[in-house]
Every structure is written in C-alpha cells, then in structure tokens.
Amino acid sequence: MAAQKHLIKKYANRKLYDTLTSRYVTLDGISQLVREGHDIQVVERDSGRDLTPLILSQIVVGEEKRGAPDDGDEAPQLRGQALFDYVRRTLSGPAAMVTSRMERGRSDLEELVDAAVERALIRLSIPTRRDVEAIHARLDELEARIAHATAGRGTSPRTTPSRTRTGARAR
C-alpha cells in the first residue's frame, strides 16, 4: 500500500488544515497520520515555508510530556518509534542535498584555486605541472628515438637514469 502524502497548511491563527481530507487537524491528528504510515508535509499558508520538522518536533515533545502510563503499555514507545522513524526519513533527504551541494561547492572551489595557481605560474614564467609532464613525455620520446637509432649501430647509448625523472613525476 502506497501511503498518501498529506499537505497540511498552517494558518496565521495556528490552525492546521489537511488539504487531502479537507478538514482541520490537531497535532494529535498529525501524529496519528504518521503512525499510520502517511507522509506529511506542513507548510505555512502565506509564505509556503516548510514547517514539517518544526511540527514533528512539537509532536515528539508532546509525546514526551505525556510520559508512559503506569500499566506498562508499550504503545507510547511504538508511537514514539514511528515518529522517530518518520523524522529520520524526512530529514535524510535534505541532509543528502546539503552534502551533495557541499561536495559540488568544494569541487568548484578546487577548480577555481587550480585555475588561479596556473594563471599565477604563467605570469611568473614558472612551468606548470602540465608543462613539466609534457617535457617528461618529450624526453621519453627522444630517449626512445636515440635508443632505436643507436641500436642499429651496435653501440649502447649513454642515458641518464630515468628513475630520477619517474620519481619526480610521482610526487
């Protein structure tokens, strides 16, 4: 069974109106909807601001104030767990969005810093990493040509140890 989403509008006079059932509801009514597995969204009627976390917090506080009855009934614990699970589901979406946005921002910042460093290196006539890598590639190509050319003559070419350049490249 797919749970229906209830859009609840909070009016300036603090009344809560469920647009799905076309009736006013209380915090207890919203709590019951959550326990039944319905998704809810509470918005401020005038501004459209999402009030769902605030309303769910009020419900949880209300449940806590009531406390557990003396007969040892587990129903309050189950109600509390249902609300807690719903709050966790409701807040995990926005948390993922924030994390995703932070990652994008960090990536954008890294790109800006890399571009600024590269521009500064160019202005100062200091070779960039890309320049150094291109030089290394060209040296490797020239070493290969020399080795190929001297292989036909039967002499061994004198080369600099490539370990030094390879080690520098790994840094």
> Is 34 part of any domain?
yes
Q: Which helix (H) or strand (E) holds 47?
A: none
Tell me if 169 sits within 8 A of 136, measured CB to CB. Answer: yes
Q: What is the pLDDT of residue 141?
A: 95
Q: What is the pLDDT of residue 118?
A: 81
**Mean pLDDT confidence for 99-124:** 85
| Res 165 pLDDT > 70 | no
This prediction's pTM: 0.42
Q: Is 168 or 39 the better-scoring residue by pLDDT? A: 39
Please check whether residues 65 and 135 belong to one and the same domain: no
Please check whether residues 89 and 136 belong to one and the same domain: no
Length of the chain: 171
Residues 18, 147: Cα–Cα separation, whole Å: 82
> Is 120 part of any domain?
no
| Res 134 pLDDT > 90 | yes
> Average pLDDT, whole number, for the chain?
78
Q: What is the pLDDT of residue 156?
A: 56
> Is 119 part of any domain?
no
pLDDT per residue as tens digits for the range 40-90: 889 998 998 988 888 888 887 777 777 655 445 555 555 566 666 777 766
CA dihedral 3, 95, 51, 63 (to 10 degrees): 70
**Mean pLDDT confidence for 17-38:** 88
Please check whether residues 88 and 148 belong to one and the same domain: no
3-state SS assignment for residue 21: coil
**Mean pLDDT confidence for 140-166:** 72
Residue that is last in its domain, among 100, 119, 150: 100
Backbone angles phi and psi of 159, in degrees to 5 = -125, 155
| Res 104 pLDDT > 80 | yes
Residues 105, 109: Cα–Cα separation, whole Å: 6
3-state SS assignment for residue 159: coil
Residue that is last in its domain, among 84, 100, 116: 100
What domain range is 28 assigned to?
5-100
Tell me if 52 sits within 8 A of 16, measured CB to CB. Answer: no
pLDDT per residue as tens digits for the range 147-156: 998 887 765 5
Please check whether residues 131 and 95 belong to one and the same domain: no
> Is 68 part of any domain?
yes
| Res 157 pLDDT > 70 | no
Report residue 97's pLDDT band, with 50, 70 and 90 as the boundaries: confident
What burial class does residue 40 get, using C-beta atoms within 10 Å of its C-beta: 0-12 exposed, 13-18 middle, 19+ buried? buried
Structural tokens at position 91: 């807040």
| Res 23 pLDDT > 90 | yes
> Is 118 part of any domain?
no
What total of structural domains would you count in the chain?
A: 2
> Is 106 part of any domain?
no
